[in-house]
Structure 1
């Protein structure tokens, strides 16, 4: 189907991107300026900013508890932003919605960003927070994980990290991850436009454009991330057996659509339980930017159902 009319209307109002090199500082400031005021956000039982003291150093996290239960399952949420954008603030509404729809505690990770922090700093932060969440002694009981559901969830580049974290945990013998949810993940940073049909079909006019992938990912790749490394491009991992069950959400008009769906196929062929859901009329980033549209809030509801 065509791009959803409400999404198309919003895209028509956006200014053309500025000429010249990308400015991470200015782009982050512009993102932060669009954050919903605190008093207009979805209320939850508890939202707590704290610091995870981990083997990777001190990592800022935000804990969202939807109910006053003694313990619960936990989602470790990794925000998107091409590895150089995004924050606990810009994706606060996504974390709140995940907590509400799943009934689980969400721990959002304020991992280090490129280009200031070189690879694999951000990925190490995500892995270390996962271990911190699972270790009640390390986190001082603030997370209150019940020892059951432990999910890694990420959108876009956060989906890259979620897939990589699941693989690293498996390789390290940490078998406590029960689910992974990848919203329109970036899984192949090789960026060969002939590798996936969606890179050409959705190249222009749907928000994120194929020509923008290289400059947006350049901050990460120039920091030492090798696209041939399966921790950078999870789809390049040869052995996917033993990974946790996955829900992969893709968007019809996303240049990254086909790599997400191929990853789902490869997981299934490796014996992993997988659900792949393509959202018609949507483009990349729809969970972050357009979940106020009921058709697309459904993706967060679907994640909640998958995790329960």
Structure 2
């Protein structure tokens, strides 16, 4: 990486916000930024029931591509450390996803911590996925196999855990999932983490180790629960029966190694897994402008995966 750019990124990370105190302000700022080009992103919104037992409904916003080339529906769980992000702030990224894949994208507005800590957001994502897989006609589909789970960062964590839960509970499991630089492990302390990328990139770039620990404190206040497979899917004792998986990691992301470790664990359990590390990419690159090289590289791989072609490094 260019030394000047590396220095600039270090300065940005040094001037980081305090997740625990500033999350509400970050949410407002994200929505304001996403609302700038608002007119062309007006999309229909519908809802499903959560699995929380309280009859709550979960908003789902559907994005239709300008040119629809595929019948698949990408059921998307957004990132933001389970604390920030929503269907408003992720509207530009989802519209881009729809246009670049030629698929409809259904973005799930799950509940956020700390107002709704674990397992509230997971219940919303699980309930939405289960109901669509049971009745794909609700989303205008002819078959459940047309549903592809997609998530980035904390949303990638939720997608992975939803697939685990669906298999464990005896429900239909999606045929495919796309995990973008997901959280798969509970320990992001450079002194104790088993992953070198935490030590190499945990203080330099967009997402820091301190922020990850703050997000976990808000999402799962009980430290012991963070080791659960429903929070850290890499800890799951049984990873059999999972969807065909495309794992995309970012080279300059502290989560890089744990995402790739999860890909290896899935493959070791007999699942079909394809792994691609995007070079010179930072955490969160799915929200970059369409001309950005990491974004273009990732969508080339996603296109190949949706077409059923091997996109490069296969883990088996």
Cα deviation, 1:3-35, whole Å, max 9, x if unaligned, reads 698797677678923569522211211221211
Quick check: 1:168 aligned with 2:165?
yes
The equivalent residue for 2:314 is: none
Q: Distance in 1 between matches of 2:215 and 2:233?
A: 18
Structure 2 gaps of 5+ residues are 308-316
Q: Distance in 1 between matches of 2:223 and 2:203?
A: 29
Query: SS of the counterpart of 2:304?
Result: helix
Q: Distance in 2 between matches of 1:274 and 1:128?
A: 25
Is the 8 Å Cα contact of residues 3 and 282 (structure 1) preserved in structure 2? no
Question: In the comparison of the two structures, how many residue pairs are matched?
Answer: 300
The structure, 1 or 2, with the larger RCO (C-alpha pairs under 8 Å, 6+ apart) is 1
Quick check: 1:29 aligned with 2:28?
yes
Q: Distance in 2 between matches of 1:142 and 1:278?
A: 35
The equivalent residue for 1:81 is: 80
Shift of 1:102: 2.6
Is the 8 Å Cα contact of residues 75 and 107 (structure 2) preserved in structure 1? yes
Name which of structure 1's ranges 220-229 and 163-172 shifts more when overlaid on structure 2.
220-229
The equivalent residue for 2:100 is: 101
Q: Distance in 2 between matches of 1:263 and 1:83?
A: 19
Quick check: 1:238 aligned with 2:237?
yes
Matches within 5 A, 1:264-303: 264-289=263-288, 291-303=290-302
Cα deviation, 1:104-134, whole Å, max 9, x if unaligned, reads 2211100000011132110010011112323
The equivalent residue for 2:124 is: 125
The equivalent residue for 1:212 is: 211
Shift of 1:75: 1.4
The equivalent residue for 1:251 is: 250
Cα deviation, 1:218-268, whole Å, max 9, x if unaligned, reads 110217881111010000011111101111111111111100011111111
Structure 1 gaps of 5+ residues are none
Is the 8 Å Cα contact of residues 62 and 104 (structure 2) preserved in structure 1? yes
Quick check: 1:157 aligned with 2:154?
yes
Q: Distance in 2 between matches of 1:20 and 1:256?
A: 18
Looking at secondary structure, tell me which structure has more helix per residue: 2
Shift of 1:65: 2.4
Instruction: Report the TM-score, using the length of structure 2 for normalisation.
Output: 0.85
Task: Note the aligned Cα RMSD (angstroms).
Answer: 2.8
Is the 8 Å Cα contact of residues 22 and 215 (structure 1) preserved in structure 2? no
